[in-house]
Structure formats: structure tokens, C-alpha cells
Amino acid sequence: MIAHALFFYFFSVIAIVSAIFVIVSRNTVHAVFFLILDFISIACLFIMIGAEFLGMMMLIVYVGAVAVLFLFVVMLMNVTEQKSSWFRGTKKSNHIPTGLIVGSVILLELIVIVGGWKYRDTFSETKFLSFDKEFTNTHAIGNVMYTEYIHLFQISGIILLLAMIGAIVLTFRKREGVKTQSYFKQVSREREDSVELVDVEFDKGVKFDD
Amino acid sequence: MLAIKFLIPEIFLSISIFSLLMIGVFIKNSFEIIYRLSLFVIILIILIILSGDSESIKIFSESFTIDRFSLYSKILILISTFFVLLMSKKYIVDIKNNKFEYPIIILLSILGMFIMVSSNDLILFYMGLELQSLALYILASIDRDNIKSSEAGVKYFVLSALSSGLLLYGCSLIYGFTGSTNFEEIANSKDFNVGTIFGMVFILVGLAFKVSAVPFHMWTPDVYQGSPTSVTSFFSVVPKAAGIAIFIKFMYLPFRDVLNQWQYILVFMSIASMILGAVAAIGQTNIKRLMAYSSIGHIGYAIAGIAAGTENGFKSTLIYISIYIVMNIGAFACILLMKRDGKYVEEIEELSGVSKNHPMMSFGLLIILFSLAGIPPLAGFFAKFYIFMAVIESEMYTLAIIGLVTTVLSAFYYIRIIKIMYFDEPKKPFEKFVDYKIHGPIVLSCVLLVSFFIYPSILNEIVSNISIF
């Protein structure tokens, strides 16, 4: 048990500290790396509570795809020149006190709630999710994903499709005057199209029409 | 397998979206075809819904409800989308935004709204909400070369994503404290403690943002002004109907037993929205911005009906939002007519003396503006009348009095436009064109608004059959 607690605190401290560093670090590349560290430690926490599927998904999706994408974007932008000007406020912002007040009020309210927190001892029965020790939770998710929650699964697909359409609508531009390769044209070119056999009469030369 | 037949509208809509997408990809310059086909699809879905039976049933492990309430909302959404799409065609072509994706994104957003108004489960509700708002972000910035449109898109995206986050946080709290994501089971879990209430407040914040109720209205004027007018007319009508429908559902289904907790929040939102809508619109010079503030005010009245907490309360809200849709479609059709020298103008000053050159258009706008101001015997008056009836029935006199006062206040800026149209110096006339797609909705809207008082109970009868429980 102690080892479990130790690992829990180890990963949580890393998660919290790196989350703070994501915000405060001035170098965007560092911020992204801290974000990745944050994701990894959260994935470890997921695995520790026995949700190995969520943990692995976290690694694959967030660390593997999203964070690397972030890194790409950050590296493509010209960060080194602008990083100092981005993060240095031009004038003193007067939003900070207001934000602090609102934030601390919400924090106090949350403390009130967490103080009165009582986990429900019986989560109302979800008919389809069995809390069977025999099943791994990948198996359990697989059981319901395509049966009881098929509509949610399909709708997520439509949301992704819409995201794709949106990205294309907002960024795709038809360029004029670009010479693109047409495989079909290249392959379907016949010998007759481009080779002309001319009988050249002696001492007359060749006369082309154009 | 039997359950599938209740899903036919949604399935048909999704399949037609995919087919339209394929047509658009493979046929060049296919805006015209896609546009017509999507209008046709909308009509077909209206027919499918009307021809189906309206028994109430819950499918997909009780996460998807089909009942009169959801069917009514869906038809409202479809009809308003139809007219918005119909009248915005000329505008879209004129600003060279005739991409074939435009109608498809609108169809996708109605698919999201369908899922949202039918949902009986927090997860499904959230997915529908995300589908519709993702479509709205894209629509807001669809005129991507216009810096204002891009700004509107980014602003809407950032703020709306924040509010979705808050909403999701509320959902997670509610799941943690009640142990279920199903609306019925949330309502049946008897111990509503402070955590659940806190979650409910977060959900209220998210919903209020989506319908742009004060104090979560900040995005509305900028987004309305920045987006292309065709998109603004969509924003001001269709998501409002869906948002109010899901608002009603949340308040009357999962949280019906904690009426005393949410009633004051809604009363506050309603009063604040009515006052802000009335006061802030006075100084506006841009007509789209003015319509944004006007819609904030109208949402205030709609929420007043929900805040009444009675059956009559939400029915009056449904009537209100239906009439609001009719008025706003007419108003935006008139705004779409404001074209001079090949450019669309948006300043209210441009309307000065328009009655000399365009008597019919200005008469139509006159009727619509009078109705928006709530002047009897137009439909806008009846809408407000039902709301105030419901509010007074539940003995919330302060709300009713403030509502009446703000009605008078807001009449000022509606009538100011009429004064500018009729009594100011005429300017150069707008471009004259007759397009039944724009004039049709104006005429229809005016006829409906004027003739509503002859037989007002027709809408009442439809709405009175609706129940959520």
C-alpha cells in the first residue's frame, strides 16, 4: 500500500508541477514538453487506478499525436524571435485582481463541496457495464462500445468528419497557375500524339505549319 | 431493430449529408446543386417527421427520447433553417462565399441540434451540443478573407469552448454525486446535495452561454456583427430555438425537484438579459449589432417563461421562441435587402428615408419591428402576453413588472428605426431586385405576424399537447 501511495504522490506532484510550468514557462517549446510530461504522468495515474485502457489512450492520443502536433506547430512558428515579446505584457493588466477574486471565490466554493463530498456508495446500475474482475476494462469497453453506445460512437465519427470539413473549408485555397502532374495524361499518352514522321524530300527542307 | 424506425429523421439526415458531400467533392462548382438538394432534404425531413407517429418513446438504453416536445423543436429547427437558407442564397453568392460546404455545415449543425433536443442523457446531450457548436464556429468564420469574420470565429470558438468546458465540469459533478448520466435517474436520485447544485449551476452557465443570456452574452454582438449576414441570421434563429428547447428540458427533467434552487438564478438571468437587451441596444449604429442586443433581450423573456417553473411557463416559452423565429427571419430578410452599389450595408443610417424608394420593404420591416417591440395586435404582443401570464400565475410580480418596463424601453430603439425609415431624408435607393427567396419570407413573416391575432389558439393547441415528463 505504501508503495502505491508513494507512486501516487510522485506522479501527482509531477503532474501538478509540470502543469504549472506549462503556463509560466516563457519558451513555448519548453511549455509543450512540460505538457507532454503532464500527460504522461496523468496516464500513469490512470494506470494506477486500474484504468489501463484510458492510460494507454492518453499516451497514444495526447502524447503520441496531439502533443507532437503542438510541437510541430510551435517549431514551425518563428518562436525564438517573438517569444520575448509574446509573453511580456505591454502594459500592466488590470484583469489580474478581478481574475484572482473570481478564482478564489470558486476555489472556496469547491472546498465547500469537496468538504461535503460523499461518493455514492452505489453508482446506479449501468445495465451493460459489468464490474467483473475477470474482465479487463478494455474488454468491458469493447463490449458496450459497438452495442449499447453505438449511437455515441457514430456521432463522434460525425463530429470528426465535421472537424475535417471545417479545416478544409477554412484553409484550402485553390491556386491558379500551378503546374501539377497528371498521371492519367502521362500514362495515356500515345506514340502518335507526339511523334510525327515526316518524309523529307531531298534538298527541300522541312516546313512546319506553326 | 424496431427502435431504428424512430430514428429515421436523424439517419436520413446523416445519410443525405454524406451523399451531398460526395456530390460536392466530385462535381465542380456544385454550390447550386448542393444548395437545392439541401433545401429538398430539409423539406423531406419535415415530411418524415410529420408523417411519423408522435408517441413518446425512449430508445438506446433510454438515452434518446422521441416525444412531442422533441418533435416540435425539431420541426421548429427545420422550418427556420429552411427559410434562413432560402433567403441567404443571393447574399452568399454575392459575397463569393458559394462553397458547397456551406449548406452541408448547416445540415450538420441541425443534426447536432436534433441529437441535443432528443437527448435524455448527459453524454448524448454533450455530443449533440459539440456537433452543433463546432458547425457554428466554422460558419462564423466561413468568410475567411474578411478579418471581421475570422475574428468572430476565433472569439466565438474560444469563449464557447470555455463554456463547454464549464458545462462538462458540471456534468461530471452531477455524475459523481447522483451516480448516473440519465436525466430520469438524475431526477429520481433523491439526495440533491450541494455538489449536485454546484454541477447544475455549471450546466446553467454553459446553457446560458449557448443561448446568450446575460451575464454570458459578451460574444453575441461581436459575433453577430462580424459573421456574414447570412450566418448571423442563422445564429439568431436556429441555435436559439435548439438552445431554449434543451434549456427547458434540463430545467424540467433532471432538475425538476430543485426548482427553488434554479428559479432565482433564472429570474436573475432573465431580468439582466431584458434590461441589457433594452438599454445597450439604444446606442447601436450597426443593425446587426442591434439585432444581437435585441436577441439578448428576447432570450430574457423566453427565460422568464422557464423561470416560472410551471407547465404553462415552458409552453409560453415555446410559443415565444416560435414567434421570435418568425419575426427574426423577417427582420434578417429585410437586412439582406440592404444592398447599395454592389455592397451590402449594415448601418442603421443607411435606412434613412427608405420608405420613399422602397415602400413595400419598409412597410414589412415596420410590421416586424412593431411586432418585435410587442405592440398589439401583432404576434410579438401575444408572445410576451403568454410569458407574462405564466409569470404572474406563479406570482413573480417583480419579474413581470421589470419585463413590462423593459418592453417599453426596448420599443424605443425599434421605433427609432421606423422613424429613420419614414421621416428622415431619403438616401440613394437600394438596388432593386425581386427575389422570391428573400421577399417570400418577408411577406410570409408579415402575414403570420399580422394574422396571428385572428386565431391565436392554433399555436396554443399544438403546444398544449406537449409535455416533457
ipTM of the complex: 0.91
Residue A142 at interface with chain B, using a CB cutoff of 8 Å: no
CB B446 within 8 A of CB B367: yes
pLDDT of residue B321 exceeding 90: yes
Q: Which residue has the cell 481574475?
A: A99
Chain B contact present for A174, CB below 8 A: no
B347 - beta bridge partners?
A: B286
Q: What is the CA radius of gyration of chain A?
A: 31
Q: What is the pLDDT of residues B241-271, one digit of tens each?
A: 999 999 999 998 888 888 888 899 999 999 9
Please list, residue by residue across B323-356, b when 16 or more beta carbons sit within 10 angstroms of its beta carbon and e when fewer do: bbbbbbbbbbbbbbbbbeeeebbbebebbbbbbe
Residues 6+ positions from B53 with CB-CB distance below 8 Å? none
Q: How far apart are CA B269 and CA B352, in angstroms?
A: 35
Q: Which domain holds residue B390?
A: 260-469
Residue B294: what pLDDT? 93
- What pLDDT is attached to residue B324? 94
Taking alpha carbons only, the member of B272, B235, B23 closest to residue B141 is B235
Q: How far apart are CA B157 and CA B150, in angstroms?
A: 10
Q: What is the dihedral of CA A199, A203, A204, A206, to 10 degrees?
A: 50
With CA atoms as reference, the chain A residue closest to B189 would be A124
Q: Which residue has the higher pLDDT, A52 or A20?
A: A20
pLDDT band with cut points at 50, 70 and 90 for residue B21: very high
CA–CA separation, A142 and A149 (whole Å): 10
The cell for B85 is 437558407
Nearest Cα of chain A lies from the Cα of B64 at a distance, in angstroms, of 9
Contact partners, residue B111, CB within 8 Å, separation at least 6: A158, B10, B13, B14, B17, B131
Q: Which of B61, B130, B194 is opposite residue A116, by nearest beta carbon? A: B194
- Identify whether B457 is part of a domain: yes
Q: Specify if B191 maps to a domain.
A: no
Alpha carbon separation from B207 to B165, B176, B240, B295 (Å, rounded) = 12, 20, 11, 15
Mean pLDDT of A202-206: 74
Which triple of cell numbers denotes residue B184? 430520469
Residue B42 reports pLDDT greater than 80? yes
Cβ <8 Å between A165 and B101: yes
In this complex, do B130 and A159 lie within 8 Å of one another by their Cβ atoms?
A: yes
pLDDT at A38 over 60: yes
In a domain, B468, yes or no: yes
A175 pLDDT more than 90: no
Give the span between the Cα atoms of A195 and A139, in whole angstroms.
Answer: 65
pLDDT of residue A83: 55
Whether residue A45 is predicted with pLDDT greater than 80 in this model: the reply is yes
Evaluate whether residue B331 is within a structural domain: yes
Q: Do B179 and A112 touch (CB under 8 A)?
A: no
Instruction: Read off the pLDDT of each residue in A13-17 and give the average, rounded to a whole number.
Output: 94
Query: What pLDDT is recorded for position A84?
Result: 56
Give the rounded percent of residues in chain A with a pLDDT score beyond 70: 81
At residue B252, φ and ψ (nearest 5 deg) are -100, -10
Which set of grid coordinates corresponds to residue A186?
502521362
The CA distance from B28 to B434, in Å, is: 28
Q: Rounded to the nearest 10 degrees, what angle do helices B68-87 and B229-252 cross at?
A: 170
Q: What pLDDT is recorded for position A180?
A: 81
Residue B252 lies in a domain: no
Cell of B176: 459523481
Query: Are B117 and A146 a contacting pair, CB within 8 Å?
Result: no
Give the per-residue pLDDT at A71.
81
Number of domains in chain B: 1
Q: How many CB atoms lie within 10 A of CB A163?
A: 16
pTM comes to: 0.87
Test mutation, B98, B109, B130, B181, chain A, max A CBs within 10 A? B130
Q: What is the pLDDT of residue A90?
A: 59
Q: Can you state the angle between helices A28-48 and A68-76, rounded to 10 degrees? A: 180
Answer left, alpha or beta for residue A182, where phi above 0 means left and psi between -120 and 50 means alpha: beta
Q: What is the C-alpha R_g of chain B?
A: 21
Residue of A nearest to B194 (CA): A113
Q: How remote is the C-alpha of B400 from its chain's centroid? A: 23
Find out whether B106 and A165 touch, Cβ atoms under 8 Å.
Answer: no
Contacts of B138 in chain A (CB under 8 A): 162, 165-166, 169-170
Residue B127 and residue B132: Cα distance in Å, rounded?
9
Interior angle at CA B170, CA B167 and CA B176, nearest 5: 145
| Interval A102-137: pLDDT, tens | 889 988 888 877 776 665 555 555 555 555 667 777
What's the one-letter identity of residue B13? Answer: L
pLDDT of A159 higher than 90: yes
Q: Is A158 in CB contact (< 8 Å) with chain B? A: yes
* Interface touch A151/B63, C-beta < 8 Å: yes
Could you check whether the bond before residue B377 is cis, i.e. omega within 30 degrees of 0?
yes
The terminus-to-terminus CA distance of chain A in angstroms comes to: 91
**Which sign does the torsion angle of CA B340, B346, B350, B356 carry?**
positive
Distance CA B195, CA A118 (A): 9
Nearest residue of chain A to residue B178 (CA atoms): A120
d(CA B377, CA B355): 23
pLDDT in tens, B358-393: 888 889 999 999 999 988 889 999 999 999 999 999
Q: What is the pLDDT of residue B238?
A: 94
In a domain, B157, yes or no: no
With 0-12 / 13-18 / 19 or more C-beta atoms within 10 angstroms meaning exposed / middle / buried, residue B409 is middle
Give the number of other CB atoms < 10 A from CB of residue A21. 16
**Calpha distance B99→B32 (Å, rounded):** 9
The pLDDT value given to residue A80: 59
What mean pLDDT is predicted for residues B405-422? 91
pLDDT at residue A82 greater than cutoff 60: no
Mean pLDDT of chain A: 81
Report yes or no on B61 lying in a domain.
Answer: no
Please tell me if residue A98 touches chain B, with a CB cutoff of 8 Å.
no
Distances (CA, A) of A100 to A106, A113, B215, B282: 10, 20, 19, 33
B64: three-class secondary structure by DSSP: strand
Pick from B6, B11, B120: nearest CA to B53: B6
Nearest residue of chain A to residue B193 (CA atoms): A116
Q: Which residues of A touch B133 (CB under 8 A)?
A: none
User: Can you give the pLDDT at residue A117?
Assistant: 66
**Separation between Cα atoms, residue B62 and residue B72, nearest integer Å:** 20
Residue A164 has pLDDT above 90, yes or no: yes
| Alpha-carbon torsion (B312, B313, B315, B321), positive or negative | positive
In a domain, B417, yes or no: yes
**How near does any CA of chain B get to the CA of A152, in Å?**
7
Average pLDDT, chain B: 90
Cis peptide before B215 (omega within 30 of 0): yes
Residue B60 has pLDDT above 90, yes or no: no
* Single-letter residue type at B320: Y
